[in-house]
Structure 1
Amino acid sequence: MRHRNYRLLWISLVVSSVGTWMQIVAQSLLVLKLTHNSALALGIVSLAQAGAFLLFALIGGGVADRLDRRRLLLCTQSSSMGLAFLLGLLTHFGVIQVWMIVLIAFCNSVVLSFDQPARSSLIPQLVPREDLMNAISLQSAVFNGAAVIGPSLAGLTIGLIHYAGNFFLNALSYLGVLIVLFLMRVPAGEGQTAASGAPASDLLDSIRESLQVIGRDAVLPWVIAAYGVLLFFNPSAAIILPYFSVQVLHLTPLQLGLLFSASGVGTVAGALGLASLGEVKRKGRALILAFSLWTVALLAFALSHLFWLSLLTLFLVGAMQNMIAATTITLMQTRVPAQMRGRVMSLNTLMIMAIRPLGDFCASGLIALIGGPPTVALAGAIVGLLSLLLVGGRPAVRRLAEPGARPPLS
């Protein structure tokens, strides 16, 4: 936080993320209202978003490496602001329809396919290498921390300013980010090329090249694969918590809200704790420990019938998942050439925004077949076993940052 550019960007993104969560909740409730509580309609919106990321995430990373990242973020943030205003206007004048929401959600996900790789690959230009893991950890806490505040604000404001008001507030929340980006002066992206008019074939070749660089690395294929396994097989809170609240724990709506908050608070606490540790030297051992504790915590949650134990295990799940994500992203940032960071970070966007929703779709079907606790326990066992094989079973990963280990690429 002592680095001015990073500090200003982080604060502005906190405000913007709260607005994003307000729109997520209001948009979901609006879809249910328009479709008379159709869960299928919500699934169609999610599928449209995942499809956009599958189509454009890797391309977005390639563009982030070719253009000035600050200017690209100015364009993407302005586009997201415009889409939020459009959604608000359509809702305010009473002409909104479900297909319009699906189309806007798809377009917004296309924009995010370019925004998120650019945002992630900009961070190494704002902080020195020794502070990079701290910065990434705090960055990963922004959206999850906003998940503790944004939904509650949306619940309060929908009754006062209706759905359109939430969309307008989200649009206004982008102003802070745009002002910070406009005033920010950062060194030109190391290794970036300003070839915005490069042929599509060159862009696809550059994406293929970055994937080959990852494939040749002794560590990244295994770490990224383990992270992908975690994202695919771990059912999101929106899938499992309502089921456990009603069918297993028999909770009140207030207690269900506390379950949601426990995971978010754990994520924030994990981020702050990891950032306070400074540069973690033995990243391989940190990953193995985090995967192990995450697995134990999720299995304990699957078996729990006690509210307080469920809160504790969800807190630990959130904290360990943040540690896994921050360590993985740090390795992705530091073990590839600087000019490939955008393309490499697009893999992170692809996994979070496309692979995870696909995993949730499978998990929801399995919950319908065998129930919630067996599904969650099976997910924990699969992640624990595969992470042990992918991370714990690779000597190159275990030796990360130990004496004599191969230094990160630069």
Structure 2
Amino acid sequence: MKLPLALQNPSFRAFWGGTLISVTGFQMLRFTQFWLIFDITDSSLYIGYLALASGIPTIVFNIIGGVYADRLNQKMLVFTTQFLLALFIFILCFLTFIGIVNEWHILLLALLSGSVEAFDQPARRALYPSLIDREAIPSGVALLSGIWPGTRIISPAIAGFLIVWTSVAFAILISALGFLIMAIIALTLKVNFSPQQKNTSPLEDLLEGFSYINSHSIFKFIISITFFQSFFALAYIPMMPVIAKEVLTLGPEAQGILLGASGLGALSTTIVIAIKPNLGSKFFHVVIGSFLSGISVIIFALSSVLSGSYYLAIICMFIVGIFGTLPAISAQSSLQLSVPNNLRGRIMGLYGLTFSLRPLSGFQAGLISGFTNPTFAIAFGGAALSIFTVTSFITNKNVRKFNQIIDKQ
């Protein structure tokens, strides 16, 4: 059996392997940070502070990171960001090991790490298409996308076992090694594209990126659909503790299994697309897939409150994972196939900004839930995505011609 097309390239194999290790470290770090700050403060409020400290810099600086991904050597930029992230985590490990770590150390280092991540993410998304041929890009997008749901299933468990069997400091140390390994791998990559020397200012480059998106309505649709997915439809993730406890009347283990079912559905989708990148049309994946993604979230919310069945909820979450991942992978591959190399960092920075808004999905869902109830808040998020998709299909002729436009780029 042949490897997926993108993995047949040695440089991409190294990049994919390094990303797998790095993201595993990232997921372990997030779990350990939340556990550590709650253990120190015994306050759930500080968990919220930590989420803000990690998320706000990424939201603020992501677009700027995209600008510099187009101006600087992307390989060296990935090396630098991964090295700095490893350094910050080593500092947290040391403070924890000697027993003087406090909540402000954790928050400050999370703030610094979030700022660096804003430059790391656009650089990585801009870098990997230059490692592979154009026809391998959909396979590459699927393989890299599959890392996140896959590690989301196993990384928290690894971190938890390390904390129990060894110590918090050792769990943090293993996380740091993941970033350091990725930094070293970045130096070995053979890149086929180098950024051109620019005589323009970073602000002019930023405005050029906005202008390009504004002049291509299909790209505005892709970025908008990703926003609706991240900010509305994915609100079920932060709301899952409430669904598990108050709606299904189950414990925290049920929350983990429900989210694990979603991750398994997402992972299944990425494997299929990685092996068969041309299976189905981009229109079906992005447009129809986004509509079905919203519908599946609505069905999960309604089935939970109407039936109260835990097993039905697991099945629904598996389906949510499938339809949530299908448009996400194809949307990113459509962008990667279509944008010019000299604008790739900025476009992917704008695209990545929508992912940075995911933590805020819990904020809007929490507000809606406060006025109504948790299941309505989740169903509202799914409805928002489906309604936007249908409205775009009706009002935007380019959405209806999605395949033709993407193929012409």
Q: What is the TM-score with the length of structure 1 in the denominator?
A: 0.92
| Cα distance, 1:25 vs structure 2 | 0.8
Residue aligning to 1:146: 151
Are positions 1:342 and 2:342 aligned together? Answer: no
| Cα distance, 1:281 vs structure 2 | 6.7
Residue aligning to 1:53: 58
Counterparts of 1:225-264 in structure 2, within 5 Å, are 225-264=224-263
Q: Is the 8 A contact 1:288 1:392 kept in 2?
A: no
Counterparts of 1:9-408 in structure 2, within 5 Å, are 9-36=15-42, 38-189=43-194, 192-194=195-197, 202-279=201-278, 282-304=281-303, 305-353=308-356, 355-391=357-393, 393-402=395-404, 405=405, 407-408=407-408
Q: Is the 8 A contact 2:66 2:345 kept in 1?
A: yes
**2:100 match: secondary structure:** coil
Amino acid at match of 1:24: R
Q: Is the 8 A contact 2:138 2:274 kept in 1?
A: yes
Shift in alpha-carbon separation, 1:264–1:407, aligned structure 2, 3 A: closer
**1:279 match: secondary structure:** coil
Amino acid at match of 2:358: R
Shift in alpha-carbon separation, 1:282–1:392, aligned structure 2, 3 A: farther
Amino acid at match of 1:21: Q
Shift in alpha-carbon separation, 1:312–1:181, aligned structure 2, 3 A: same
Q: List 4+ stretches of structure 1 deviating above 6 A.
A: none
Amino acid at match of 1:337: P
**2:68 match: secondary structure:** helix
- Identity among equivalent positions (%) equals 27
CA distance in 1 between counterparts of 2:389 and 2:49 reads 31
What is the Cα-based RMSD across aligned positions, in Å? 1.8
**1:219 match: secondary structure:** helix
CA distance in 1 between counterparts of 2:259 and 2:351 reads 24
CA distance in 1 between counterparts of 2:47 and 2:253 reads 23
Q: Is the 8 A contact 2:295 2:383 kept in 1?
A: no
Amino acid at match of 2:381: A
| Cα distance, 1:335 vs structure 2 | 2.4
Residue aligning to 2:3: none
CA distance in 1 between counterparts of 2:279 and 2:214 reads 24
CA distance in 2 between counterparts of 1:385 and 1:158 reads 44
Shift in alpha-carbon separation, 1:406–1:237, aligned structure 2, 3 A: closer
CA distance in 1 between counterparts of 2:256 and 2:280 reads 37
| Cα distance, 1:254 vs structure 2 | 3.1
Q: Is the 8 A contact 2:131 2:191 kept in 1?
A: yes
The answer to which of 78-87 and 233-242 deviates more is: 233-242
Q: What is the TM-score with the length of structure 2 in the denominator?
A: 0.93
Shift in alpha-carbon separation, 1:392–1:290, aligned structure 2, 3 A: farther
| Cα distance, 1:395 vs structure 2 | 2.1
Shift in alpha-carbon separation, 1:301–1:3, aligned structure 2, 3 A: same
CA distance in 1 between counterparts of 2:102 and 2:18 reads 32
The answer to which of 279-288 and 334-343 deviates more is: 279-288
5+ unaligned residues in a row in structure 1: which ranges? none
| Cα distance, 1:183 vs structure 2 | 1.8
Amino acid at match of 1:79: L
Amino acid at match of 1:214: I
Shift in alpha-carbon separation, 1:222–1:96, aligned structure 2, 3 A: same
Aligned residues: 399
Q: Is the 8 A contact 2:244 2:255 kept in 1?
A: yes
